[in-house]
Chain A
Amino acid sequence: MRLLTTLLIIFVAVITLGFWTNDQLTDSANELLLDVDKIHEEVNTQHWDSASEHTEELEQNWDRKGKWWPALLDHQEIDNIDFAMAKNKEYIAAKNVPLAMGQLSELRQMIKHIPQKVTINLTNIF
């Protein structure tokens, strides 16, 4: 009985932690998406200096918020976001609107996809 109680306590703690991490993941992703949208707007209006500045900010935010993501998510997806950020930075430095816009859209989808993937819903269960 003691073993069962201990295991159930650990299990409930893990489930609670799971809900909390899902919330954290969604919050972090939403903040990163705001940054991406801001850069998207600036690239669209060709404000390259502020786009470049916000890209740096996005990278710092990603380093800070996304550092614990590999503990829960497929490492390949995290690597893909890293690669997309690196590409995006270069496209903005080169002031290339179509490529930067395309890359930002891809980045947006990648970040948006992550919390969607861990959300508890019937689609994800089945």
Chain B
Amino acid sequence: MTLTIIRTIILFTVVVVSLRFMGKRQIGQLQPYELVIIIMLSELAAIPMQNIGIPLFSGLLPILTLLVAEVTLSYIALKSVRARALICGTPVVLIESGKIVEKEMQRSRYNINDLLEELRAKNFPSISDVEFAILETSGHLSVIPKSQKRPLAPQDLNLPTQYEGLPLALVIDGRVMDKNLQKAQLSPGWLKSELDKFGIKSAKDVLFASLDTEGKLYYQAKEKKL
């Protein structure tokens, strides 16, 4: 039994490390070959986990091979446009200038119901509101609405806007993020004095604090333990 636990921990670690090397992508965003690798990985790891009669290397070696294959294919796809089209496929335009491209729909085996379903899911109940719909290589449908139907932007009304950057997290779970403080060109002393103003003695009592681009400090103190 202990043997199974040890083998499971080893295989789990190897699969997690392999997936980390493969990059950050969600299942829905995977390219076809990546999806195949993910499915195979889970199976390869599960068999030697359950069956202690199978050598651990029988599971580890195929995982390494798949990892090498995945990294090599992604590298080739990164460097060559032709190879990228061959490995990942190319996006298909299903609606062009407001018209359904029947030929492409047939070629992609994408029926009208699938198209309408995807459009509804993207808040376009009427196909007449759509200028372009592109079936991406990951299987996602990108929709570009007609200019009259797209959401209003401040630019349309000539409204001036201020720069909105990313708020910097200064304290997370009582720990001061020194790197972010340095990035904002602030010192721990400044943070302490700011927190003092709200009656908080130490950063350890703060659950989360962040600084937005306007210099406003947001904070939430930890709930006091009873």
Q: Do A and B bind each other?
A: yes
Given that A3-B21, A11-B68, A14-B64 are known contacts, is A70 also in contact with B55, CB under 8 Å in the complex?
yes
The segment from A41-49, A51-59, A71-79, A99-107 that touches chain B is A71-79
Q: Which residues of A contact B68 (CB under 8 A)?
A: 7-8, 11
For residue A120, CB closer than 8 A to chain B, the reply is no
Chain B CB within 10 A, most for which of A1, A3, A70, A72: A3
Contact residue among A3, A7, A72 (Cβ-Cβ distance under 8 Å from B55) = A72
For residue B29, CB closer than 8 A to chain A, the reply is no
By the criterion of a CB under 8 Å from any partner CB, how many residues of chain A are at the interface?
15
The minimal Cβ–Cβ distance linking A90 to chain B, given in whole angstroms, is 25
Chain B facing A: main interface SS: helix
Contact residue among B53, B67, B71, B72 (Cβ-Cβ distance under 8 Å from A75) = B53
By the criterion of a CB under 8 Å from any partner CB, how many residues of chain B are at the interface?
15
Q: Which residues of B contact A122 (CB under 8 A)?
A: none
A71 to B56, CA, bound (A): 7
The minimal Cβ–Cβ distance linking B35 to chain A, given in whole angstroms, is 20
Q: Which residues of B contact A93 (CB under 8 A)?
A: none
For residue B65, CB closer than 8 A to chain A, the reply is yes
Given that A1-B75, A7-B71 are known contacts, is A73 also in contact with B65, CB under 8 Å in the complex?
no
Q: Please name the residue on chain B nearest to A11 by beta carbon.
A: B68
For residue B54, CB closer than 8 A to chain A, the reply is yes
Q: Which residues of B contact A76 (CB under 8 A)?
A: 53
For residue A10, CB closer than 8 A to chain B, the reply is yes
A11 to B52, CA, bound (A): 25
The minimal Cβ–Cβ distance linking B198 to chain A, given in whole angstroms, is 45
Q: Interface code B164-175, partner A: CB below 8 Å = 1, 0 otherwise?
A: 000000000000
Q: Which residues of B contact A1 (CB under 8 A)?
A: 75
For residue B112, CB closer than 8 A to chain A, the reply is no
Q: List 14 A-B contacts (CB under 8 A).
A: A7-B64, A7-B68, A7-B71, A8-B68, A10-B64, A11-B64, A14-B61, A14-B64, A71-B55, A71-B56, A72-B57, A74-B53, A75-B54, A75-B55
Q: Which residues of A contact B (CB under 8 A)?
A: 1, 3-4, 7-8, 10-11, 14, 70-76
Q: Which residues of B contact A (CB under 8 A)?
A: 21, 52-57, 61, 64-65, 67-68, 71-72, 75
